[in-house]
Chain A
Amino acid sequence: MSDVLICAKGLSVGFPIGGGLFNKQVLKAVDNVSLDIKKGSFFGLVGESGSGKTTLGRALLKAAPITAGGAHYSDGEVDYDLEKITNDQLKDYRKRAQLIFQDPYAALSPRMTVRDIIAEPLEVMRLTKNRQETDARVREIAAKCRLNLEHLRRFPHAFSGGQRQRISIARALVSAPKFIVADESVAALDVSIQADVLNLLKQIQSDMGLTFMFISHDLSVVAHTCDHVAVMYLGRLVESAPTRKLFAAPRHPYTKALFSAIPSLDPDDRGSAQKLTGEIPSPTNQPSGCKFHTRCPFAIDHCKQVEPKLETDGTGHDVACHRWKELMAPQAA
């Protein structure tokens, strides 16, 4: 039995946009992405807005249309090919794979009590036989997410951002999933509460043996929570490595630029950063060759013509750049 829970091979997601009958255009939101997510890992996915992180996360939940390639889910009990999944299998997959949303203010219905919000997946998926069983399960999950019984009777408006996010987490966990996609789940929270929610997610993961895909644009948050990080740019995976390796020695110029853009806490360390100019190009009008060449300070003609492949170096540190070895050389010397 392998220890890989999700295995994507050449996964692409496209959305048809505009155009007439004969010149239908396709927006490639995720383009030929291959990745393995190990069981029990905390897999981070990083990139700017528009890089396709969310779409990739949704494709793995079978909530976005897969247009090419495919992904496999195997947790030891079941084995699903997400591309050819049947309706019955999909129903079962929904129990096993869940999503936590970004905005805890928009994700909860204002007209349902917290108890009803958390119980809804159980009722919809018919996971419990009667009300007593549902209530017991809701209470158990609520306690895990540090919500008390008093909270269950109230409506979401009575809660602060951090508490709401804990309710969203409880709802995602109630069907006892194996795989959770957390899409910018702490982005809307204050730092003090962000730390609290991150600690909670980590604890739940180790208690329940879950596998997380953690989507974020905040590299310092990812560095603290994830075991493995993949960096996306315009629908492509540009670098993927175990967290410590990636943060110790990033190889792709884009990853390096993302690191240097993080505002330093040291007031005397101002403006030393290597700043990235311009913005991410529109996915409808993608550059040729390496997608990053329009903003890359090290781009050469070769980069404009040939798209680099994701190279594996055997240690699990993959990078898609023509020049990474050259660019790393001065540091090694």
Chain B
Amino acid sequence: MTALIDVENLTLKFRTDEGLITAVDNVSFSLNKGEVMGLVGESGSGKSVTAKALMHLNARNAVYTPESKITLHTESGPVDVLSLKTPRELNIVRGGAVSMIFQEPMASFAPAITIGKQMVEQLQLHGDYTNESAKRWSIEMLDRVGISDPSKRFDQYAFELSGGMRQRAMIAMALSTQPKLLIADEPTTALDVTIQAQVIDLMKDLVAEFQMGIVFITHDLGVVAQTADKVNVMYLGRMIEEGPVREVIRNSKHPYTQGLLAALPKLDDLDSPLTPVPGDIPSPLERPSGCVFHTRCSKVVGDVCRITDPRDRKIDATHKVACHIYDEVPA
């Protein structure tokens, strides 16, 4: 397995009128080729901000600490993503080697330009395409993602397609530059379950075919179980648990991950009560001291949770958790 992207000590703050807000706090992970990583957490946990950092796409008021480092391994050698500045340099992470699929496909296509024109535009930006060859390739990609009558769709506008079609067109567009890394930000959240199942199948096929790495952002643990190889759980900008998908779902260690699983309505046991994680995610302006989760945690072991930020504990070689409960567990 070859490494595709390495994220080390990523800390990201936003400069706002109310002061510096920490959105991502010392996050490290790496992803190999052909691997699907699920990034899970509530709204406000920093999932999207982390993903956008991979494309250096965060707003101008974002401040990265000097220790933050994101390395993308391309065929022409490693690229230090955070040091890229000019639009020309950034091309590589914005549609070239890295592509992104957004949550709301209606909002991601320009409404007054045909789907085809948008696909051709980005192909010509990133590759050596003539109008003819770009069109041919775009139509082929539309066909690949299962859009019927692709040459007709090529000349249509986003509003003429249904939700599922639009998301497929979005996927076709993101994959047409043959990226090495695909970032999918809640790609199925706005879709019906039946269409969601189709899109998930499609993405699995494409990973197998193109050997891409995928960062799959979602709050739906069921979707993660169906797609991901490994899972990272985020809470208030901290990575609190990470491990292979089977480990994290069947043998979750962090009280927050356990809480998320308990809150999920399960079809095979209709009598079990739904147990919410108590309270709301705190405002990033009032980050709790110590362990960021201690304000909602039912398993606080003592003052240590309020005072000390837990470091990552290894449960085994691949399963890590940031929680004080596991201090006694021999690593």
Contact = CB atoms under 8 A, between A and B. Distances in A.
Contacts of A199: 273-274, 276
B194 A223 contact: no
Contacts of A191: 219-221, 260, 263-264
Interface stretch (B125-133, B197-205, B304-312): B197-205
Contacts, number: 119
Interface string A221-255: 10110000000000000000001100100000000
Contact of A192 (B193, B200, B204, B276): B276
A247 B270 contact: yes
Contacts of B201: 271, 275
B194 A257 contact: yes
Interface string A170-208: 000000000000000000001111111011000000000
Q: Which of B192, B260, B263, B266 has the most CB of A within 10 A?
A: B192
A244 B200 CA distance: 28
Interface string B273-296: 111110011000000000000000
Given A199-B274, A279-B162, A160 B193 contact: no
Contacts of A16: none
A276 B246 contact: no
A21 to B, nearest CB: 27
A163 B246 CA distance: 33
Indicate the size class of the contact surface on chain B: 35 or more
Contacts of B124: none
A131 to B, nearest CB: 31
B194 A261 contact: yes
B175 interface: no
Contact of A163 (B164, B219, B225, B280): B280
The main secondary structure of chain A at its interface with chain B is helix
Contacts of A279: 162, 164-165, 195
Contacts of A257: 194
B249 interface: yes
B106 to A, nearest CB: 13
A138 to B, nearest CB: 22
B164 A195 contact: no
Contact of A220 (B246, B265, B280): B265
B245 A265 contact: no
A39 interface: no
The binding surface of chain B is classed by DSSP as helix
A277 B199 CA distance: 11
A7 interface: no
A265 B275 contact: no
A234 to B, nearest CB: 13
Interface string B234-275: 000000000001100100000000011101111100100111
A185 to B, nearest CB: 14
A266 B225 contact: yes
A275 B198 contact: yes
Interface string B209-230: 0000000000111110110000
Contacts of A198: 265, 274
B43 interface: yes
Contacts of B273: 199
A190 B274 CA distance: 13
Q: Choose among B165, B195, B260, B266 the residue with the greatest number of A CB atoms under 10 Å from its CB.
A: B195
Contact of B193 (A217, A265, A270): A217
Interface in B156-214: 162-165, 192-198, 200-201, 204
A139 B198 CA distance: 47
B266 A190 contact: no
Contacts of A161: 43
B249 A193 contact: no
Contacts of B194: 48, 257-258, 261, 275-276
A261 B197 CA distance: 6
A326 interface: no
Contacts of B42: 190, 192-193
- Most B CB contacts (10 A, CB to CB) among A49, A223, A263 go to A263
A263 B226 contact: yes
Nearest to A274: B197
Contacts of B281: 160
A46 to B, nearest CB: 10
Given A160-B280, A191-B260, A265-B249, A244 B270 contact: yes
A296 interface: no
A149 interface: no
A49 B270 contact: no
A162 interface: yes
A263 B225 contact: yes
Query: Quick one: which of A193, A199, A267 has the most chain B CB within 10 A?
Result: A267
Given A194-B263, A223-B267, A275-B201, A265 B222 contact: yes
Interface in A257-291: 257-268, 270-271, 273, 275-277, 279
B161 to A, nearest CB: 10
Contact of B222 (A162, A196, A221, A262): A262
A265 B274 contact: no
Given A258-B194, A262-B267, A192 B225 contact: no
Given A191-B221, A247-B270, A258-B194, 17 more contacts: A48-B193, A49-B163, A160-B44, A194-B276, A195-B263, A199-B276, A218-B265, A221-B265, A259-B267, A261-B193, A262-B267, A263-B196, A263-B197, A263-B222, A265-B261, A275-B194, A279-B165
Interface of A: 48-49, 160-163, 190-196, 198-199, 217-221, 223-224, 243-244, 247, 257-268, 270-271, 273, 275-277, 279
30 contacts: A48-B192, A48-B193, A48-B194, A160-B280, A162-B280, A190-B43, A191-B263, A192-B277, A193-B280, A194-B263, A195-B276, A198-B265, A199-B273, A220-B265, A224-B274, A244-B270, A247-B270, A261-B193, A261-B194, A261-B196, A263-B200, A263-B226, A264-B222, A265-B264, A267-B226, A267-B249, A270-B226, A275-B201, A277-B198, A279-B195
